[in-house]
Amino acid sequence: MKRDDHTQSDGRAGAEALGFIGLGAMGMPIARRLATAVDCLAVCDISAECVGHLLEAAAPAAVEDADILMGAKTIFLCLPSQTSTRQVVEDLVSRPATNRTIIDFGAHPPGFVSEMNEICQCASIQYCDCPVFGTPLMAERGELYFLFSGPERVSEWFDGLVHPLGYRTRYAGPPGTASLLKLLQNAIGTANLAIGAEALRICEATGVDPGLFIGIVRECGGIGQSSVFDRFADDMAARRDSGEGRLRIAAKDMHSVVNLAASANVSAPLMVETDRQYERAMQEGMGEQQFTDIIQIKAAENL
């Protein structure tokens, strides 16, 4: 694939270097697929084991070389928290490269994105938030959806890079727009799961087969049908972990949406109650369980 001026040679003949920091559950499959489309992908992670797995799976394009990484004009971030993202962004800002672009796949609150954008602008670095829609399994299959915020020309370059890998993209607007829309989308799904969990618990308590209920919701075409319920209802009813997202991620996103609503002076009582249920799940130590395990939380009384 021909590169534009967002990439730079790492000094090897014909090689164009991109950087990738963060090889966790989502970053690993994205980096592995990305390495099939680029000349050189310089990777970094705090886990030497994760780096080793990626290098083994994506050689010879994937390399572990700090000089190549820091010289790359485009660096992708796929980090697990605001703390780790801030640390990496501040490190990159302290060692800027000419015309560098940071593309952040993390799901962050809009306020945090604005802060990172301001930090990068002070160092003449372009910061683009590009939150990911999907799961690690979807990343493996090339089924992710990326919502891109930042310069439109960079979005077009990014689409040309990942579209051949099976991924889909959409341009949302200036920095922060994609992250806001991602949070709102997640809020709908998270609240949907919480209500679906309560409906399944009612089935169990009244002696109705949850499988019968799930089948009817899928077949009838009624207003209870949704892609979220259809996808996760069986796992919720069976108390089964299918390897999808962790509950702590859903709790974090829901809390961010509630804070966003409050800052915008918007009343969002259903989101607030959903946030409360996920917070209870976190307090009960369920953060590393699948987010569908919200079905195990009993509805609080007299709220």
CATH (domain of 138): 3.40.50.720
Are residues 18 and 111 located together in one domain of the fold? yes
Query: Do residues 302 and 276 make contact, with C-beta atoms less than 8 angstroms apart?
Result: no
Task: Give yes or no: residues 255 and 235 share one domain.
Answer: yes
Question: What are the phi and psi torsion angles at 41 (to 5°)?
Answer: -120, 110
H-helix or E-strand containing 21? strand 16-21
**Number of structural domains in the chain:** 2
Amino acid 202: pLDDT: 96
How high is the pLDDT of residue 299?
55
CATH label of the domain that carries residue 209: 1.10.1040.10
The vertex-230 CA angle with 227 and 234, nearest 5°, equals 150
Nearest alpha-carbon partner for 31 in 8, 12, 52: 52
Q: Which of 174, 200, 217 is the last residue of a domain?
A: 174
Three-class DSSP category at 86: helix
- Residues 75 and 147 reside in one and the same domain: yes
DSSP notation for 160-215: HHHGGGT-EEEEEESTTHHHHHHHHHHHHHHHHHHHHHHHHHHHHHTT--HHHHHH
SS3 76: strand
Q: Which domain holds residue 91?
A: 8-174
d(C-alpha 103, C-alpha 162), whole Å? 13
Rg over CA atoms, the chain: 21
- 184: helix, strand or coil: helix
Query: Within a domain: residue 98?
Result: yes
Residues 19 and 162 in one domain: yes
Of 128, 157, 174, the last residue of a domain is: 174
Is 217 within a domain? yes
Are 196 and 162 members of one domain?
A: no
Is 168 found in the same domain as 52?
yes
Chosen domain end from 174, 189, 219: 174
Same-domain pairing of 14 and 74: yes
Please report the pLDDT score of residue 97 as a whole number: 78
In a domain, 303, yes or no: no
- Same-domain check for residues 241 and 122: no
Distances (CA, A) of 71 to 79, 101, 235: 20, 11, 45
Query: Mind listing the pLDDT tens digit of every residue in the chain (303 residues)?
Result: 333 444 433 333 235 799 999 999 999 999 999 999 999 999 999 999 999 999 999 999 999 999 999 999 999 999 999 999 999 999 999 987 778 999 999 989 889 999 999 999 999 999 999 999 988 889 999 999 999 999 999 999 999 999 999 999 999 999 999 999 999 999 999 999 999 999 999 999 999 999 999 999 999 999 999 999 999 999 999 999 877 778 998 998 899 999 999 999 999 999 999 999 999 999 999 999 988 999 998 654 433
Count of all residues that appear for the chain in the document: 303
Could you please report the per-residue DSSP string of 140-161? HHT--EEEEES-HHHHHHHHHH
